Chain A
Amino acid sequence: MLTVSEKINIAKISQPYAAVDILRKGYAGGGVDLRLALKIYTVRKSVEWRASMEDDAGYTSYSAGLIKTSNFLYSLCGYYGLGSFDSGGSVAPIVPITPDIYPFFISSSDFESDGVTYINENIVGDNIALFVNQWTQQWWPPEAGFFVLTSNGFRVIVDGFNANEQNYTIMVQRVYSPTTPVTTDNTLQIDSSFSLLIDSDNQLLIN
């Protein structure tokens, strides 16, 4: 059973997720109550205040009214407050819903000083395509020689591209193919046809 404190924390996380989800769903919030985030906030503040006052008053256990109101708060969180529970009945920390960041726009000012490197930890591990508005106005698919994924973003490798010399507007979109792991410029891939050998002089050989 969730404690009052846990329900308050769930509400704190549910409020922004509800707000963002409603925004993403556009007109009419996709059926979600447009005021849900505000409702969660309003009730959560009251529950928090009452809980702190009962703590200060030395209550050994929270009042029945507070328990019921906190249960109501949890019910308001709905889908946004779902978490995972272990078999013992205790509550594991909830897995936050990660907002979908794609597609998003970047400009030349978002590149590093070298004019070709873009750093964004949020895209690491994703396969992406780039649409460079001021280039050929075409999509740069992954693994096509326009850019490479790096350990913390991507680097443009096509000749002539320099964000320091041109004001680019680039859309970054996620793609779900190919399904095989995406090669980065700092990753060594060896498949079954190659073998790694260490010789007697401790040299690494790739056969």
Chain B
Amino acid sequence: MAFVENFTATQVLGSPSEIVLTDTSTGSDVNIVSRRVSFQTNESTYLVPDGTSTDYVVWPIADTTQTDDVLDKDYALYVTVEWIDINGDALYTKVLLRGFTSYNEDELYLSSQMEAANQMNISDNSFLMNQFLMRNYVDSGNQALERASDITTAQICYDQATILRTTSQYTLNVNS
């Protein structure tokens, strides 16, 4: 059966810095000997694991899944996988545009847990407004990708949420 390239890129619980790739291709092509994966940002830079000198990560053909530790915050990324032959030429290429939002989603879940544990947070305008803003930014970034494939707008939204997250001791402080 002819080879049809495909893959998924997801995140897992407890590892917001990692992207898990799963090859879901069907069929076969005996010329494929390896894969390459790249993670491109809206600024056309590439995210790679520490110690990697290239703009891509090698994904051995024997491994159906691969986990790459490349994130230090939420990103909107073009994830490109190339199925390559013995000469290093790409025989098949698949590109996915995805939002990876585990950092900020973790923080939002934590803030909801804080609300559940301390009902006074319900009345704290600073806490609530910043939580609402953060939720809005993450959702807006997701919608920019889903509705418009707009990586730049998505990244701007994710970065705004990241600012709230990295200053959460002030923005989500119950003692306002």
Contacts and interface: CB of A to CB of B under 8 A. Distances in A.
Interface of A: 35, 38-39, 41-43, 45-47, 49-50, 53-54, 56-57, 65, 68-69, 71-73
Interface residues of B, number: 21
Interface string B1-25: 0000000001111100000000000
B13 A57 contact: yes
Nearest to B113: A69
B105 A69 contact: no
A53 B108 contact: no
B13 A72 contact: no
A42 B12 contact: no
B109 A42 contact: no
A72 B109 contact: no
Contacts of B111: 46
B115 interface: yes
Contacts of B36: none
Contact of A56 (B10, B105, B112, B139): B10
B122 A39 contact: yes
A39 B116 contact: no
A42 B138 CA distance: 11
B105 A46 contact: yes
A35 B128 contact: yes
Nearest to B20: A56
